[in-house]
Amino acid sequence: MLRGVRGRLTLTIIGLVALTSLVLGVAAYAYVATSLRDQQVEAARDLTNFNVSVLAAERVPPGTARDDRRWKSLVDAFTLRGVTGTVVDFGDGDPFASGLDATSDFRQLSPSLRSIAEGGSIGYERLTVDGRSLLVTAARRAPDEPTFYFFFDASEVEGAIQRLGQALAVGGLVLVLVAAVVARALARRLLDPVRSAGNAAERMATGDLSARLDVESGDEFGRWAASFNRMAASLEATVAELRAAEARERRFVADVSHELRTPLTALVNEASMLKEHLDDVPPGGRRVGELLVADIARLRALVDDLMEVSRFDAAAEQLQPTEFDLETFVRAVVRAHAPDAGVAIGPHAGQVVADRRRLERVIGNLLDNARVHGEGAPIEVAVDLTGDVRGKGELLVAVLDRGPGVPPDELPLVFERFHKADPSRHLGGSGLGLAIAREHSRLLGGELTAAPRTGGGMRFELRVPVTRSLPMGDGTVTGDEQAGAALEPNTETAT
Amino acid sequence: MAARILLVEDDPSIREITTLGLTAAGYEISTAPDGRAGLALFRAEPPDAVVLDVMLPVLDGLSVARAIRAESSVPIVMLTARTDTFDVVAGLEAGADDYVRKPFELPELLARLRAALRRTSDASPAVLRLGPLEIDEGGHSVRRDGREVTLSHTEFRLLAELARRPGQVLTRDLLLDRVWGYDYLGDSRLVDVAIQRLRSKVEVDPANPQLILTVRGAGYKASRPDPGS
């Protein structure tokens, strides 16, 4: 969810806010804590100074014995002035203590505090005992006098500092959360144009050239969206133009081949009559007549193929499945297109339901192609059915020649319209036969492939789904003789 | 006696060369360059068969076919420039019996004409019965409950083929062979459209046929006589 530019943008904003609030919070915390503590130390020092220099000097003169009652009253006076605990260290290892746990707290003090006090200055130290924050000051009047340690309760100040820290932390966290929400919204808003542009581009990629962007603002995104829209509009216009041109072209091909039919019909019949009377033509004109007849046949084949191709382009083709006997059919097609071809019928061939006319066009065109390119070498046709005896099956037809074959890099092109294997050779044929064969194969839901044949030549293979059926038994007449209740799928029926 | 053929075709070259070819094949030809002239000639000198271009000036081929079929059972072979379903089926529904695709070669047209002119394939004409129908093969007539039903030659032959084998399924291929003379790759639409036309003439309710039944995936059959009758 946080991937991509939007995620990175969101994370960056959150990071910046977090860093800023952390720095500000830490600085504020440090400043406030330091000044609070300094104030406290200052007040403690003042009181210590007053206690030692004024109170102690007034009430306990130098040289007073340690068991004198005046020490006790002095310490009471200290307590009255706000000291939580007092320790008077006479340097004999038995300090006089007053206030809560003052004796044990005293033992935790560092030696440096003592040496500062013995040096004549006022020292202080912070101490935490059992969660209690204490500020301890130390001072003495004169080198041979006892050292005073005053314990002040610092928990109020420390508590305040702690609460400040908590408040700052909570505030920072809230800030980061708010930043996260704002950052996501901001990133979404910023990147919305990018997202909708992405969607629009995706729509265009899938063929919807009418996709456009909303030009909402005058900023960079708005200008970009306007450019995108201009690009899309010009692309759409160009594609529409190309499609119209293509449609015109196809229409033109259809019209041309259609218009050619009438004169061609006359030509074809004139040629066929001329052919019958060629013997009556003087020798000088006979060869010309022969050529004319052959060329008209070629022209007819080309126009027929063009018509067929333009019907594919018009998508006016419908399947017409009928039931027929596979072997009879294949032998008839071979007889019509390449009578010398060897035919191998597989053991499973039988009655099938398929669009026979289309199959005839595919197999016939493959045979024509093999005949034209096969250089007189024998053509072989192999036919078989796979699948269940009844129901769905696959028809497999292989047409093999021993012609020069096709270079591997040209193999994918053999089914292109007007692809010529060798432009320098004129072998006849319209150049549309294999293209037509493939179109029919597709319409049949099958597949037509070309591959080099081992030992030279080509192997064209057609695979088409067909419905298999047994020869009609009861009461069906499939020829002059009735096919009986035949159970073998391979039973031949006379036709 | 030579069969008389009426050729209605607007292209003069096709008209002339086809006339030459058909004459050489032994037919007697009359020609017309447009639909109206063709129809007039048909009425003036009734031919044995009509070869009709679909795209004709003045009156188009489909209209001519309908007009001829309304008054005659003569075989009509259509010349079509396209093999699209629309053209072929429209022509057959208008009453044509068969079609030849342009550019055709004379032998194709001759084969279609010969098949269309063949009267009956059976050597021993008989009177067949199919439900209320009485089919006289010799007299080439059909009566339904005593009343004459007008059928085209093709429709008649189709009915006779079916009625001769009541209860047996006849595949479209077989019918194409027997009635139209195709021995290889005939157009099964010829059968389907002719069956429709036939039903519209002999069935009480053509949408719910009782005499000529469709056998899905196989072909057609004539209904068997009721066991009781």
pLDDT confidence tier of residue B228, bands split at 50, 70 and 90 = very low
Instruction: Please state the φ and ψ torsions of residue A235, each to the nearest 5 degrees.
Output: -65, -45
* Residue A146 pLDDT > 90: no
- Residue A104 is encoded by which pair of tokens? 């044990």
Disruptive mutation site among A275, A335, A477, A482 for chain B (greatest number of B CBs within 10 Å):
A477
Report the C-alpha gap between A138 and A124 in whole angstroms. 6
pTM for the full predicted model: 0.57
Helix (H) or strand (E) holding A205: helix A155-205
Q: Residue A389: pLDDT band by 50, 70, 90 thresholds?
A: low
B46 — pLDDT class (breaks 50, 70, 90):
very high
In chain B, residues with a C-beta closer than 8 Å to the C-beta of A303 are 103
B17 touches chain A (CB under 8 A): yes
CB-count burial class (<10 Å; 0-12, 13-18, 19+) for A263:
middle
Q: Mean pLDDT: which of A99-113, A250-264, A335-349 is highest?
A: A335-349
Among B168, B175, B178, which would you mutate to test the A interface (most chain A Cβ atoms within 10 Å of its Cβ)?
B168
Q: Which residue has better confidence, A165 or A475?
A: A165
Residue A494 has pLDDT above 90, yes or no: no
Which residues on chain B are in Cβ contact (under 8 Å) with A322? 172-173, 188
- For B161-171, the pLDDT digits (tens) are 888 888 888 88
Higher pLDDT pick, A238 / A430 = A238
What confidence score (pLDDT) does residue A118 get?
80
pLDDT tens column, A2-56? 567 788 888 888 899 999 999 999 999 999 999 999 999 999 989 888 888 888 8
Q: Which residues of A touch B184 (CB under 8 A)?
A: 332, 336
pLDDT at A480: 38
Q: Enumerate the residues of chain A whose CB falls inside 8 A of the CB of residue B107.
A: 272
Nearest to A323 among B14, B103, B171 (CB): B171
**Chain B residues with CB-CB distance to A272 below 8 A:** 21, 105-107
Per-residue pLDDT band at B172 (split at 50, 70, 90): confident
Would you place residue A147 in the very low, low, confident or very high pLDDT band (cuts 50, 70, 90)? confident
Looking at every residue in chain B, the average pLDDT score rounds to 85
Average pLDDT over all residues of chain A: 82
* Section A115-135 average pLDDT: 83
Question: CA-to-CA distance for A98 and A75, rounded, in angstroms?
Answer: 7
Query: Are B81 and A261 a contacting pair at CB < 8 A?
Result: yes
Residue A128's φ and ψ, nearest 5 degrees, are -120, 115
Closest A-chain CA to B215: A476
Which ipTM was obtained for this model?
Answer: 0.73
Res. A87: pLDDT tops 50: yes
Judge: B169–A267 Cβ closer than 8 Å, yes or no: no
Q: Is A344 helix (H, G, I), strand (E, B) or coil?
A: strand
From B2's Cα to the closest Cα of chain A, the distance in A is 21
A475 and B21 within 8 Å at the Cβ level: the answer is no
Mind listing the pLDDT tens digit for each residue in B194-212?
A: 999 899 888 888 888 888 8
- Chain A residues near any Cβ of chain B (below 8 Å): 258, 261-270, 272-273, 300, 303-304, 307, 311, 316, 318, 320, 322-324, 332, 336, 353, 356-357, 360, 469, 472, 475-479, 482, 495
Residues of chain B with pLDDT > 90: what percent? 26
* Sign of the torsion formed by the C-alpha atoms of B167, B170, B171 and B172: negative
Query: For residues A177 and A224, which has the higher predicted lDDT (pLDDT)?
Result: A177
CB-nearest partner of B17 from A266, A324, A482: A266
B107 shares contact with chain A (CB less than 8 Å): yes
Instruction: Measure the CA–CA gap between A482 and A479, rounded to whole angstroms.
Output: 6
